[in-house]
Structure 1
Amino acid sequence: MYGGIIVDMKKMDRIISIDEESFILTAQPGINGYRLEKELNKKGFTLGHYPASVYGATLGGYIAARGAGTLSTKYGKAEDMIISLEAVSAQGEIFRTLPVPNHACGPSLLQLYVGSEGTLGIITEISIKIEPLPQIRKFNAFLFKDVRDGLEAGRRMMTEKRLRPNTIRLYDESSSDRIVKKVLGLDLKGCYMVVGAEGAEAQVLLEMKQIEEVCVALQGRELGPESGEHWWNHRYDFYFPPFNLMLPELTGTVETTTTYDKIYSIHLKKKEAIEVGFKDWNAKYIAHFSHWFPWGVMTYDRFIIPVPPEDPEEALQLHNAIWAKAARTSLAHGGILNDHHGIGFKLGWLMPEQYGTAWPIMQSIKDALDPAGIMNPGKFGFIKRF
């Protein structure tokens, strides 16, 4: 967008080694995620990273954008899974981070490059943890009367019980009615939640029992394992025709992540900001909560304009206005700009607002590592000083 070149890494697609003692994979960044998973499965392992983009995404893409897979609640996001990396700096120097991610040897150079989206250098090799294929995988589903009860159920699983479910996915009323009904064929009134566990059989059975106890205590109506397994088997259908959101509707995913004490308020405030703030366009707001942590949860929320302006420029202006309003609403109520889709150019201009007085420090890191400003100029809102 602001000059420069595109470096296509997809031919650097080799698996270099699989350490079956330490459970560490080392591979080049261009390897396709689906192919990588299949190769690991042959040896009895899994990466445990199943993003909706798995058929087209690469291992390098997972790391460069801090990606999250469907099972991130158990296995972690990309930044939790990576062990070390090799990269080429903007000045052409090849370097490696320390061979382990946890240490007391100063700040983490590794995490500086995770999520850097090509602004600080080019990742050329990745070592990442892998997991043994689970003995069993089980699912269940519940229906809550409102999203607040569902959020509390998820919070209790992750905090008070310290469970490690592979999945907790809670759909708000609007998303349950519009998306879940269409994809899964479930005509439900309320908030649909699918929960799962995987691993050793005894561990999984215990986790599923505790999950059920938590949900029932909050008046969650059990829908049964078949409903949960049906979701798992059709989890990618949500992102492909005819089930995905597509033209002529105008849509955008305005996700955020925050701590448990703020998530319900953010949900209400963003719904109001979109549906009331843009009611002249009959704006709709839908959300689900899909990546859970010991400290909080993310919301994968979207706006929908059923009949957008016919003029392309007017449609783009409306799209950007809604996105800006939603993002700033997240920031104003304790959320951040993004959980796992990256920042790129779309949200880069809001990064100074996100970081506040820390933003000049971020810019100084960019200046030090890329003094010529040649690495993805303009991304993240970084300015070229020289």
Structure 2
Amino acid sequence: MSAAFASSSDSKMNKDNSNERTVDSVKKKSLGDKNKKSESNANGNNTIIKVKSVIPRRRQDLLKWYGWGYKDSMFKLEGNTASFTGNRYSICGQSLPFLPQWAIDNLGIDPARQPKIPEPPTNFPESILPDEVKAELEEIALVSKEGMDRLIRAHGQTLKDMTQLRTNSFPRIPDAIIWPESHEQVEKIVACASRHHFVIIPFGGGTSVSGSITCPVNEPRPIVVLDTSEMNSILWLDKEQLLARVQAGIIGQDLEREMRSRGFTVGHEPDSYEFSTLGGWVATRASGMKKNTYGNIEDLIVQTKVVTPRGVLEKSCCVPRISCGPEWEHVIMGSEGCFGVVTEVVIKIRPLPPVVRYGSLVFPDFESGFWFEREVARQRLQPSSIRLMDNEQFRFGQALKTENSWGGVLLDGIKRFYISKIKGFDPAKLCVVTLLIEGTAEQVDDREKKLNAIAAQYGGIPAGATNGENGYTLTFVIAYLRDVAMEYDVVAESFETSVPWDRTLALCANVKKRIQDECAKRGIDKFLLSYRLTQTYDAGCCIYFYFGHSTAQFSDPVTVYEEIEEAARDEIIACGGSISHHHGVGKLRKKWYKDTVSEPGRQLLLAAKKALDPDNIFALGNMAFDEQSNENTTVKSKL
């Protein structure tokens, strides 16, 4: 686990005010230290390291079946105060006295009423996988038809998924789950599916928010979910070449923990880092919070091995770059499980940075912070992570402050007085940039000095290292908010886009206005709308939107939310933004796929499908694909 994440999940907030750690000083427990690896050899390059994952095979024993994250971790509203349960995150065990009033003012929540926590279902649809096929699969790997095993692998984390789970109205679940442990077993499973024409859905961490792994509702064939979680070994580690070959089912926090114990890091930290898998990162073209230093997933991959119904797709050499026609590696990246199963990946690793330092900067308004980030990108001075939150997110952060702090980005009394009184910053407009800088002590000092100098040109002032760490690590806790919101009749979701620099401010303003107008048309006066700039590039940036509203007056609140988000997405497209930066297309964004890639691009996707999966075994129905068949291909089950 990275130094950043280890400190966020295992230290108590404000215990360490230095917010700078050398590698030797990072000795705090990780999320997974109660699940030690079963085998390890830090000296041998060719020793297989079988990892015992933090997440068990029976996910329902540790994770929520109806929402995000760990069962013991959740926000609780308790009259005039609130708290976050468990001991996994820095915010755990502390009183949050300002959250209830924020929820009342912004979302109309009544914190005094009992939350609607769902009961787990006891009845499940009968499996339609024939017993003789199940027996054939059991000759290959472990198979389960148990209802809860099937239900929690029927979906990702979309708002619709969570609502249908809570109302016990989930329309389609898989007929069986299978857990292969090797590439060879996956080959046998796919061959079995091709013989019998049942559907395979690859399943990693289940964190998709695009509907990409949700079972197709009208699929008449049996559906078998291929859970990759037992394929989590590090096959080899080359310390000289800084490469590792890893099975694709390994979970992010497990991979990072194992690498850190050997003095290395992968550096890929998406928001779903605790639960998402290496194979899932490949399948969705994922991006992490520290991509400025380590790159997005396409920058980290050297080679992939993929099992398709037509055979194994893999380059014959493992080289840093090749000029050999179109790069098929990039056909697999972003394919969303529609072509086959990623089984093994050769990835780049880096030595652990000697110093990890957090920081934060306060700006008088969002525009000032934006121009600061634009200049930092122009000079290519981005630290590992640099993120700008708007004023709404800043004020929401204040609602998560503890009794002894001021603001979600925590400012002590002197800084608060200086910012609001001497500098004249308006608390209703100011914005905050959080920073994470890695490198040698000299590199970190130099980068911090240059960033502060650029910030001063745009009216920004340093706001402390602790603020930066809390702002960075709060990302892992925010995902839990949707669950408690739903318990009090509020629906909420996030969506993102990438956009050129010259259109960013207009896009933010126009999307905000569009959502406000859509809410007004529907009589919604209690809602949350905010955004943050999360990743920067030479040519533009990623903008992340957060939107939620009260549902008390609606019989079908999810449809209302989806209508508003669709209008917001139309506005994003009209302003020059993309349909996604890293969430992918899935089933939710199919409407915009063709216009994004062009009709020839759509035909290329269909041609790849026909070449790799002509019988539509991987019938996920994502992107340009229908749920039951390819264009010009009719598929009927032989079962």
Bin the TM-score by the shorter chain.
over 0.9
Question: Hey, what's the Cα distance between the residues in 2 that align with 1:276 and 1:220?
Answer: 32
Instruction: Say if 1:275 and 1:284, in contact at 8 Å, map to a contact too.
Output: no
User: How do 1:1-386 and structure 2 match up within 5 A?
Assistant: 1=216, 2-3=218-219, 4-91=223-310, 93-97=311-315, 98-100=317-319, 102-159=321-378, 161-179=379-397, 181-182=399-400, 185-187=405-407, 188-189=427-428, 190-241=430-481, 246-247=486-487, 248-279=489-520, 280-282=523-525, 283-311=527-555, 314-357=556-599, 358-383=601-626, 384-385=630-631, 386=633
Structure 1 residue runs of 4+, over 6 Å off? none
Q: Which deviates more, 201-210 or 281-290?
A: 281-290
Shift of 1:168: 0.7
Q: Which residue identity does 2:579 align to in structure 1?
A: L
Q: Which deviates more, 64-73 or 41-50?
A: 64-73
Shift of 1:234: 4.2
Instruction: Say if 1:331 and 1:354, in contact at 8 Å, map to a contact too.
Output: no
Shift of 1:243: 9.7
Shift of 1:325: 0.9
Shift of 1:90: 2.9
Shift of 1:300: 1.0
Instruction: Say if 1:140 and 1:225, in contact at 8 Å, map to a contact too.
Output: yes
TM-score (norm 1): 0.92
Instruction: Say if 1:350 and 1:381, in contact at 8 Å, map to a contact too.
Output: no
Shift of 1:209: 0.8
Q: Which residue identity does 1:156 align to in structure 2?
A: E
Change in CA separation of 1:84 and 1:256 when aligned onto 2, cut-off 3 Å = same
Shift of 1:244: 7.3
**1:333-368 CA-partner distances (Å, limit 9, x unpaired):** 111111112221121232123223333333333333
Shift of 1:241: 5.0
- Aligned pairs, how many? 382
Find the residue that maps to 1:215 and give its secondary structure. helix
- Identity value in percent: 25
RMSD: 2.1
Find the residue that maps to 1:194 and give its secondary structure. strand
**1:125-171 CA-partner distances (Å, limit 9, x unpaired):** 00111111111011221111221211111111111x21141111110
Instruction: Say if 1:183 and 1:238, in contact at 8 Å, map to a contact too.
Output: no
Change in CA separation of 1:232 and 1:253 when aligned onto 2, cut-off 3 Å = closer
Q: Which residue identity does 1:211 align to in structure 2?
A: L
**1:79-119 CA-partner distances (Å, limit 9, x unpaired):** 2211110001132x013135235222211111110111111
- Structure 2: gaps (5+ residues): 1-215, 408-426, 634-639
TM-score (norm 2): 0.57
Find the residue that maps to 2:536 and give its secondary structure. coil
Shift of 1:238: 2.3
Shift of 1:208: 0.9
CA radius of gyration, larger in:
2
Instruction: Say if 1:142 and 1:192, in contact at 8 Å, map to a contact too.
Output: yes
Instruction: Say if 1:101 and 1:110, in contact at 8 Å, map to a contact too.
Output: no
Question: Hey, what's the Cα distance between the residues in 2 that align with 1:232 and 1:320?
Answer: 29
Shift of 1:319: 2.0
Instruction: Say if 2:242 and 2:348, in contact at 8 Å, map to a contact too.
Output: yes
Instruction: Say if 1:143 and 1:222, in contact at 8 Å, map to a contact too.
Output: yes
Change in CA separation of 1:252 and 1:243 when aligned onto 2, cut-off 3 Å = closer
Q: Which deviates more, 276-285 or 39-48?
A: 276-285
Find the residue that maps to 1:322 and give its secondary structure. helix
Instruction: Say if 2:491 and 2:558, in contact at 8 Å, map to a contact too.
Output: no
Instruction: Say if 2:362 and 2:461, in contact at 8 Å, map to a contact too.
Output: yes
Question: Hey, what's the Cα distance between the residues in 1 that align with 2:625 and 2:367?
Answer: 38
Instruction: Give 1 or 2: higher helix fraction.
Output: 1
